[in-house]
Amino acid sequence: MPTDENSSTISLNISKGIISTSSVHPTEISSHASPVSPQPRSAKYINHLFVTENRCRASLFVSTGKERLIHVVHYANKEEDLHTKDSRSDSDDKNYESVVVIFFIHGVGGTVQMWEPQIHYFLSQGYEIIGMDLLGHGQSSKPRDYAAYEFKELASDVEYVFDRFCKRRNVLIGHSYGSSFCTLLSKERRSKVCKTILISGGGPTMLMPDQCSAFCLPLPMFVCIRKSLVKMFQRLAFHEETSESIRQKIKTFEISSFALKAIMQGQNWYDSTEEYHSSLNVPVMLIYGKGDQFVTMDEEVWMKETIFGADLEVIEKAGHMVMLETPSQVNNIIHQFLNRDSSTWSKANNRPVPDESRPDEEPSDERPPARGPTVQSPAMSFLFNSRASLRSANGRSSRMSRSSLRKTML
């Protein structure tokens, strides 16, 4: 077996029984097969297994319904620990009790690749990793049906994947819109969820689609202004001091215009209230970039006050994409949170890791100043009104903030 991670590795196409060699980084997403190709309904998995020393990854496509193939990536330290079969019972899994599994769920426009800094780190610490591309994203299916992208449908996909790959001890990590699915799992699968980390998640308010934004336009018109919307998001998603090299590491909103419009208009989770969040009984960590232009500090503090015992960590000089802007600090915060008690200690590390980079400065409750040009033309009002819609997706705050519920729309 090769000892260098970047050297040639073994690629095993399990579905076809063909063995070939290829030079693949162990955390690179497989592109050898398309999940949207017609497949028999009985074939739930199309497997690509990449193995190097202490780095094993299985790229799987899981059928959760008609025209719904979800790309799931499973990382483990040993090949025999990977899920490469169509079925599995807990009694057959020798690591069911001992291994902690971390689930990563991205937000609108993201992919599993957004989590690479976290995947590398926590895999090296002895955790198993499950990442997925939500429907319409990455290598998952992209059906042309608006109803397929509603919150309840995406949540059903996430629940299916969680039920299939979870073990006795599981940790959920979600970013932006992905935090909503982590919250739902923490409530509905409470017996299996040990801890939850919500990154740039926003306040505990109902998710509801905006009724007056660019995402409400007919698809042909939306396609025409999509480029401007994406540029606006890319400008606002990062802290103003974040380097251009970091900004270019991830291509935001690389999904079809149809899927983007459908997802933004399918955010209709009306159970996501203060009462719902206050009933969570798992330890929760909130991580927030102080320069976030989509989620305010007030919303994060509101969430902290709503979830009993929740912790809030504020990172200076980071924006909405905090896990990409300051990966080492985010990893350290999460690892310290996991090491608070033995329920989420990894199999490799049976004792806490010392804190290496916790900032001395106390988090500030000051709301970050807004950036960007003022809307001066009615013709551009749809574009900048859509900033509130992006906040709905990325901040889970809906278009109505806590104060605006009593006053007026943003």
Q: Which of 133, 157, 210, 292 is flagged as catalytic?
A: 292
- pLDDT tens profile 159-192: 999 999 999 999 999 999 999 999 999 999 999 9
- pLDDT tens profile 92-115: 677 888 899 999 999 999 999 999
Which candidate, 162, 404, 179, places its Cα nearest to that of 292? 179
Residue 76 pairs with which residues in a beta bridge? 56
d(CA 100, CA 345): 7
Mean pLDDT of 67-91: 80
Q: Is the dihedral of CA 260, 267, 222, 324 positive or negative?
A: negative
Q: Which of 141, 176, 398, 401 is flagged as catalytic?
A: 176
Of residues 186 and 355, more confidence is placed in: 186
User: What pLDDT is attached to residue 349?
Assistant: 61
Q: Cβ(285)–Cβ(304) under 8 Å?
A: no
Left if phi > 0, otherwise alpha if psi is -120 to 50, otherwise beta: which for 299? Answer: alpha
Instruction: For residue 409, give both structure tokens.
Output: 């729309």
How far CA 259 is from CA of 133, 171, 255, in Å, comes to 13, 28, 7
Residue 293 belongs to a domain: yes
CA atoms within a 13 Å half-sphere pointing along the CA-CB vector of 195? 22
Q: Which of 106, 120, 320, 335 is flagged as catalytic?
A: 320
Question: Quick check: is 292 catalytic?
Answer: yes
Residue 197 belongs to a domain: yes
Residue 21 belongs to a domain: no
Residue 53 belongs to a domain: no
The SS3 of residue 13 is strand
User: What pLDDT is attached to residue 13?
Assistant: 38
Task: State the pLDDT confidence band at 80, using cuts at 50, 70 and 90.
Answer: confident
User: Containing domain of residue 213, as a range?
Assistant: 61-79+100-344
Instruction: For residue 66, give both structure tokens.
Output: 């008609």
Residue 161 belongs to a domain: yes
- pLDDT tens profile 18-34: 222 222 223 333 333 33
State the total domains in the chain: 1
Residue 210 belongs to a domain: yes
Residue 49 belongs to a domain: no
Residue 322: burial class (beta carbons within 10 Å; 0-12, 13-18, 19+): buried
User: What pLDDT is attached to residue 97?
Assistant: 86
- pLDDT tens profile 238-258: 887 777 767 766 666 678 999
User: What pLDDT is attached to residue 1?
Assistant: 39
Residue 306 belongs to a domain: yes
Describe the strand order of the beta sheet including 68-76 as a list of residue ranges: 18-22, 9-13, 48-52, 55-65, 68-76, 128-132, 100-105, 169-175, 193-199, 284-289, 311-315
Taking each helix axis as running N to C, give the angle between helix 257-265 and helix 219-236, from 0 to 180 degrees, rounded to the nearest 10: 80
What is the CATH number for 337?
3.40.50.1820
Which candidate, 180, 390, 191, places its Cα nearest to that of 303? 180
How many residues are there in the chain? 410
